[in-house]
Amino acid sequence: MLPDQRFIIHVDMDAFYASVEQRDRPELRGLPLIVGGLGPRGVVSTCSYEARRFGVHSAMPTAQARRLCPDGVYLRPDHARYEEVSERVFEVFHEVTPLVEGLSLDEAFLDVTGSLRLLGSIETIGRRIKDAIWERTQLHASVGMGPNKLLAKLASELSKPNGFHRIEAERAAQELAPLPVGRLWTVGKVTEQALHRLGIRTMGELAASDTARLASALGRQVAALQALARGEDDRRVEPAQAEQSIGAEHTYDVDITELALAEAWLLRHCERIAARARQRGLQGRTVTVKLREPPFVTHTRQAQLRAPSASAIDLYELARGLLNAWWKSQQRPRLRLLGVSLSGFAAERQQDLFDSSAERRVTDQVQDSINSRFGSGSLVRGGVLKTRQQD
């Protein structure tokens, strides 16, 4: 191994949300399943491979997906459940290296250069990750391996679904040459169209083109684009920093015009983020409420708790005051989106036996225990139930 050689793995769960649903509901297996917002403003979060055959894809408006796949099964996402599965997946990553850069709940880069001596070749480590994810979640992951992030990600993409592929530096130019330029991570629609106008459609054509000719159309980014087209990428895997905030929000198909319903959603969000904070052993002091009026006018209101907390009721009481103050200031209050976040974290502190909030902590602990055993959302406070009419 050369002194500066790196070994990077990219892991991407296959159709993550849809796969979790099909795992937990066997009757959905083999069916075109679309997970996302179901109302007129809804967007597809992800879909099963059966649905992709109809042309459905993530980020597509749900209304368009229904036209393409009218007989599909449409479900709202259960983010709390997906987060639980994601935590088990990331546990696998951290068992092979501390250098994990999470891109989303279901995707990450891992630098395993320092793990080779202990765990074996990059293929051995990649297979270990893939097998462990299946054993713990019964879900398939696509694993790509390479000497840099670009090639590792392309390797996983090219081998999906349930993929396992390595692109070595010596073969990079050959494997990349026929791929469309739009597959490069810095090439958006505008740059892709500019390249097409120059007659450049593949990475091989981009790598072999005259730099001066390209510069007149693309400017300073030409050298970087051509390096990527050759498979060169010097980006490092950046391990996740300490969590800065935990939040939850929801966009409504029908604008909220009743304060009581807004308060119910606020409580639901506070329960969710407080549970996540407790799972991580964190307590926060800053509560932020996000309020969006139709069509896209967004307001934020922020306040400090008297002491760091991970109690849903502590968060809710402060957030409710912020919501009410905003609501009263509006002539015709309407909400398209409502969200809450907790920040200003400190490690969970030892509790005073005579602390007046002890009863709230016991309630939270009971709720955590039941939801852990029977699934997220099995036990909620009565004030949350009104929101389930909109699920």
List the binding residues. 12, 106
What tokens were used for 260?
């009581």
Q: Is 107 a catalytic residue?
A: yes
Residues in the chain: 391
- Strand residue runs (E) in the chain: 8-13, 33-36, 44-47, 73-75, 100-104, 107-111, 141-146, 164-166, 245-256, 282-293, 297-309, 335-343, 346-347
| Positions at the binding site for Mg(2+) | 12, 106
Going from the C-alpha of 305 to that of each of 213, 290, 319, 327, 354, the distances in angstroms are: 59, 17, 10, 21, 19
8 Å CB contact between 368 and 276: no
How many angstroms separate the CA atoms of 56 and 69, rounded?
7
Tell me how far the alpha carbon of residue 295 is from its chain's centroid.
25
Cross-strand bridge partners of residue 109 = 10, 101
Query: Edge-to-edge, what's the strand order for the sheet holding 44-47?
Result: 44-47, 33-36, 73-75
Burial (CB < 10 A; 0-12, 13-18, 19+), residue 12, is buried
Coil vs helix vs strand at 145: strand
The DSSP result for 79-136, as a single string, is HHHHHHHHHHHHHHHHHH-S-EEEEETTEEEEE-GGGHHHH--HHHHHHHHHHHHHHH
Partnered with residue 100 across adjacent β-strands are: 110
Residues 21, 50, 101, 107: which is the catalytic one? 107
Q: Decide if 93 contacts 8 (C-beta within 8 A).
A: no
Report whether the peptide linkage leading into residue 161 is cis, meaning its omega lies within 30 degrees of zero. yes
Neighbours of 271 (CB within 10 A): 26
Catalytic residue positions, numbered: 107
